């Protein structure tokens, strides 16, 4: 322990959701997609030539960037790929914020990794409370004294989304500050700011293969932005890890990204099921804000979030709960298949009876 630096000793790391295998759970706790990845991606995975692994992968994931550029309607120079969107978000801190600068701003209730990254990179930060009904307070954020923003849209863990026109008005209103839009769940909302990166040099959009592409286990995320922002991320990558996206990952993600029909079909299934599950939870008396993501944020007037979480766990259903002031009444429930969700609802009925 005495070998640890002060920073390593002092920092509170991000707590990832449980990945338990003590028994078979209905796993609705880490916003994974309940459907398998694209068959095209699976085919590439199965036919991958292991001899290729002798060599280092393309350091900048050029093939994958070309495919993503086509999908996003930009040039490959406007795309950066990393080892999960977490890594892309992490690199944004040293790329765009100084340790003695104006700092980063984000909501008080949002993806908790932003705060961990800020502390890890020594970047000052401030948080802005959510408004009523869990909406982001964009006008308060606009006035905040900061150098830039991290905005999860849809937000986690609430699932609340910002409409495209409101997002654009905000980006336009802060031309001297960078806006990093974390669109990990955007495919379930369909109002991406990515096309706006051509219009606003202060906008960087970050996306992932973990959710809508069902590839959380592959670890790939990417950023879309103007060339100067993207080259900033490349500078940071090449100070840290030259090959963050492995060869197999590049091949599989390229195939998944190219299979537009499958992507659209699975997103549609999840969105349809999200609305059905929300209806079931409302009928059980839960309070559930309208979600634009692949999860629901639910509280019950007669039971604490912690109680629901642990009773569900005993019943073999995993959801996410945080023992924190604003969050403790709620559970975050990932939308599963209709069969998984039926089990959840049946267990909830038992717990509430």
- Binding of ligand PMP by 156 (CB under 6 A): yes
Q: Find the shortest distance in angstroms from Cβ 186 to ligand PMP.
A: 10
Q: Which stretch binds ligand PMP (CB under 6 A): 19-27, 78-86, 101-109, 342-350?
A: 78-86
From the CB of residue 115, how many other CB atoms can be counted at a distance below 10 Å?
A: 18
Nearest one of 205, 10, 236, 31 to 116, comparing CA atoms = 10
CA dihedral over 285, 289, 294, 299, signed as positive or negative: negative
* Burial degree of 342 (CB within 10 A; 0-12, 13-18, 19+): middle
- Binding of ligand PMP by 221 (CB under 6 A): yes
Q: Find the shortest distance in angstroms from Cβ 216 to ligand PMP.
A: 5
- Phi/psi of residue 148, nearest 5 degrees: 175, 180
Q: Find the shortest distance in angstroms from Cβ 42 to ligand PMP.
A: 19
CB-nearer residue toward ligand PMP: 130 or 156: 156
- Binding of ligand PMP by 29 (CB under 6 A): no
Please, what is the end-to-end C-alpha distance for the chain in angstroms? 49
Q: Which stretch binds ligand PMP (CB under 6 A): 53-61, 81-89, 162-170, 317-325?
A: 81-89
Q: Find the shortest distance in angstroms from Cβ 166 to ligand PMP.
A: 18
- Residue list 108-127, contact with ligand PMP (CB under 6 A): 111
Q: Please identify which residue in 202, 210, 254, 291 interacts with ligand PMP, judged by CB under 6 A.
A: 210
- Residue list 281-340, contact with ligand PMP (CB under 6 A): none
- Binding of ligand PMP by 80 (CB under 6 A): no
Bridge-based pairing of strands 79-82 and 221-225 is antiparallel
CB-nearer residue toward ligand PMP: 221 or 232: 221
Q: Please identify which residue in 76, 84, 94, 336 interacts with ligand PMP, judged by CB under 6 A.
A: 84
Q: Please identify which residue in 32, 72, 168, 182 interacts with ligand PMP, judged by CB under 6 A.
A: 182
Q: Which stretch binds ligand PMP (CB under 6 A): 50-58, 82-90, 260-268, 321-329?
A: 82-90
Cα separation, 5 vs 13, in Å, equals 14
- Binding of ligand PMP by 216 (CB under 6 A): yes
CB-nearer residue toward ligand PMP: 115 or 351: 115
Chain contacts with ligand PMP (rule: CB under 6 A): 84-86, 111, 152, 156, 182, 184, 208, 210, 216, 221
């Amino acid at each position: 322990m005495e070998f640890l630096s002060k920073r390593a000793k002092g920092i509170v790391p991000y707590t990832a959701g449980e990945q338990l295998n003590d028994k078979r759970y209905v796993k609705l706790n880490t916003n994974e997609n309940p459907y398998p990845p694209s068959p095209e991606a699976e085919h590439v995975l199965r036919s991958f030539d292991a001899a290729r692994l002798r060599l280092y992968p393309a350091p900048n994931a050029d093939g994958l960037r070309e495919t993503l550029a086509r999908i996003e309607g930009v040039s490959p120079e406007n795309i950066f790929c990393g080892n999960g969107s977490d890594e892309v978000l992490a690199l944004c801190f040293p790329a765009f914020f100084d340790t003695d600068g104006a700092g980063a701003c984000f909501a008080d209730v949002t993806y908790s990794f932003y705060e961990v990254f800020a502390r890890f990179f020594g970047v000052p930060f401030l948080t802005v409370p959510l408004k009523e009904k869990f909406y982001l307070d964009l006008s308060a954020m606009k006035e905040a004294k900061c150098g830039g923003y991290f905005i999860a849209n849809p937000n986690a863990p609430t699932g609340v989304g910002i409409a495209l026109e409101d997002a654009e008005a905000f980006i336009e209103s802060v031309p001297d500050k960078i806006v990093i839009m974390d669109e990990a769940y955007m495919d379930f909302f369909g109002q991406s700011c990515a096309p706006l990166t051509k219009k606003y040099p202060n906008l960087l959009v970050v996306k992932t293969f973990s959710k809508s592409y069902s590839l959380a286990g592959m670890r790939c995320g990417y950023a879309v932005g103007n060339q100067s922002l993207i080259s900033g991320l490349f500078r940071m990558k090449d100070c840290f890890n030259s090959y963050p996206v492995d060869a197999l990952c590049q091949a599989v993600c390229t195939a998944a990204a190219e299979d537009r029909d499958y992507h659209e079909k699975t997103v549609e299934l999840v969105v349809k099921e999200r609305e059905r599950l929300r209806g079931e939870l409302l009928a059980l008396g839960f309070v559930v804000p309208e979600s634009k993501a692949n999860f629901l944020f639910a509280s019950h007037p007669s039971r604490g979030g912690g109680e629901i979480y642990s009773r569900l766990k005993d019943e073999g259903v995993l959801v996410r709960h945080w023992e924190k002031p604003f969050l403790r009444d709620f559970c975050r429930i990932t939308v599963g298949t209709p069969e998984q969700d039926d089990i959840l609802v049946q267990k909830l009925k038992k717990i509430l009876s």
